[in-house]
């Protein structure tokens, strides 16, 4: 329980809400897409696929955190001027990729939060 408290407490509530909102929108789009394809296909129940999509949604904030930290490391406080339509398209593509591969990217974000939030060692300040 302390693990979850430590990890989720390291992220701001606004960051979590925004990330989960994006994840839920992507989940809804993918479920709608796969439901329409499954209806035409008349195949079996894709329970494993839906479980993967839900897992990606749950892990999306941590994958997004990994991306944000790497982006901040690479660009720092630089201001990049780009066309707004191009920027929105690229943000959408990045978020879809982060959401789709969240199972593989999120462990790095969780590890980063775990290391960032660990208590200082006793005697380290001496």
pLDDT, tens only, 80-105: 898 999 999 999 999 999 999 999 99
Report the alpha-carbon distance of residue 100 to residue 34 in Å, rounded: 14
| Strand intervals (E) in 46-117 | none
Residue 124 lies in a domain: no
Task: Report yes or no on 110 lying in a domain.
Answer: yes
Instruction: Give the pLDDT of residue 48.
Output: 81
Average pLDDT of span 25-45: 76
Quote the radius of gyration of the chain (alpha carbons, Å): 18
Query: Which residues does 79 contact at the CB level (< 8 Å), separation at least 6?
Result: none
Q: Chain-centre distance of CA 78, in angstroms?
A: 23
Q: Specify the pLDDT at position 87.
A: 92
Number of domains into which the chain is organized = 1
**Sorting pLDDT into bands at 50, 70 and 90, what band is 36?**
confident
Query: Given this model, what pLDDT does residue 98 score?
Result: 94
Q: Find the mean pLDDT for residues 34-42.
A: 68
pLDDT of residue 39: 58
Q: Which domain holds residue 50?
A: 2-117
- Report the C-alpha gap between 103 and 60 in whole angstroms: 8
Does residue 123 belong to any structural domain of this protein? no
Task: Select from 21, 20, 109 the least CA-distant residue to 71.
Answer: 109
In which band, very low, low, confident or very high, does the pLDDT at 126 lie, cut at 50, 70 and 90? very low
- What percent of the chain clears pLDDT 70, i.e. is strictly above it? 86
């Amino acid at each position: 329980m302390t693990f979850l408290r430590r990890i989720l407490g390291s992220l701001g509530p606004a960051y979590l809400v925004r990330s989960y909102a994006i994840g839920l929108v992507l989940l809804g789009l993918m479920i709608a897409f796969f439901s329409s394809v499954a209806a035409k296909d008349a195949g079996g129940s894709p329970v494993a696929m839906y479980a993967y999509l839900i897992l990606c949604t749950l892990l999306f904030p941590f994958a997004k955190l990994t991306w944000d930290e790497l982006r901040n490391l690479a660009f720092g406080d630089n201001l990049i001027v780009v066309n707004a339509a191009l920027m929105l398209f690229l943000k959408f593509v990045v978020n879809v990729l982060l959401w789709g591969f969240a199972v593989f990217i999120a462990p790095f974000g969780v590890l980063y939060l775990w290391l960032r939030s660990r208590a200082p060692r006793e005697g380290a300040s001496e």
